[in-house]
Amino acid sequence: MNIILLGPPGAGKGTQAKVLVNDHGVVQLSTGDMLRSAVASGSELGQEAKAVMDAGKLMPDNIMIEIISARIAEPDCANGFILDGFPRTTAQAEALDKMLEQKGLPLDHVIEISVNDPVLIDRIKARVAETPEAERRDDDNAETLKHRLDVYHEQTAPILPYYETRGMLKKVDGMQPIADVSKQIGAIISAG
Ligand code: AMP
């Protein structure tokens, strides 16, 4: 089972991906986590990613497409994967379609976790307040979030009609409690 979770920063994609990993034995492919590992390793990619992430911008499509293509080819993805944070642009969505077709892999569900901006801003503020400074994400601050939301609306939201016109997009209300969002996603998956 291969699933894309779409939604703005702070919508709960990572949280819901972890629930799906637990319930369905699939792997979570978070491009944000991959880039954070690269930053931690101090690699050349990591140095570029740090500057881009701190500014709340997006990494170039070709780099992200290459990273995901290599990751999907790894054996642990054979049981299925949850894409969390990819695709983030229409170019990435088109490249993903081609990649899946070439590898003969299906795309089973595209699920949008919908949350409006004021709720996201409150959530990120709460996350900053609750997380000790050493564990805080460098891009979790009010200033960067504003850029990340602008980037979401300008570059990522146009993916929604891309999947909608293909009859693939399902939407869940991400402003409900975490367990209720998981139930909504579970219902979409059980409906097949
Ligand atoms: P996330 O953890 O998904 O919120 O991602 C954190 C940051 O990593 C984003 O704000 C981007 O700078 C970068 N990033 C993650 N995934 C992608 C992607 N698919 N394309 C471009 N940049 C990405």
* Arithmetic mean of pLDDT, 38-66: 96
CA distance 135 to 93: 31
Q: Are residues 180 and 83 in contact, defined by beta-carbon separation less than 8 angstroms?
A: no
From the CA of 55, give the closest atom in ligand 1. Answer: 12
The Cα–Cα gap between 171 and 187 comes to 11
Cβ atoms 57, 148 nearer than 8 A: no
Residue 148 near ligand 1, beta carbon < 6 Å: yes
pLDDT tens digit string along 106-117?
999 999 999 999
Report CA(125)–ligand 1 centroid distance (Å).
19
Does 31 contact ligand 1 (Cβ within 6 A)? yes
Residue 3 DSSP class:
E
pLDDT greater than 90 at residue 128 = no
Residue 145 has pLDDT above 90, yes or no: no
The number of beta carbons lying within 10 Å of the beta carbon of residue 102 is 9
* DSSP structure string for 14-38: HHHHHHHHHHH-PEEEEHHHHHHHH
The DSSP letter of residue 97 is H
The pTM of the whole model exceeds 0.85 = yes
pLDDT computed for residue 177 by the predictor: 96
Domain 2-186, CATH number (from 3.40.50.300, 3.40.190.10, 1.10.10.10, 3.40.605.10): 3.40.50.300
- The answer to whether the bond into 87 is cis (omega within 30° of 0) is yes
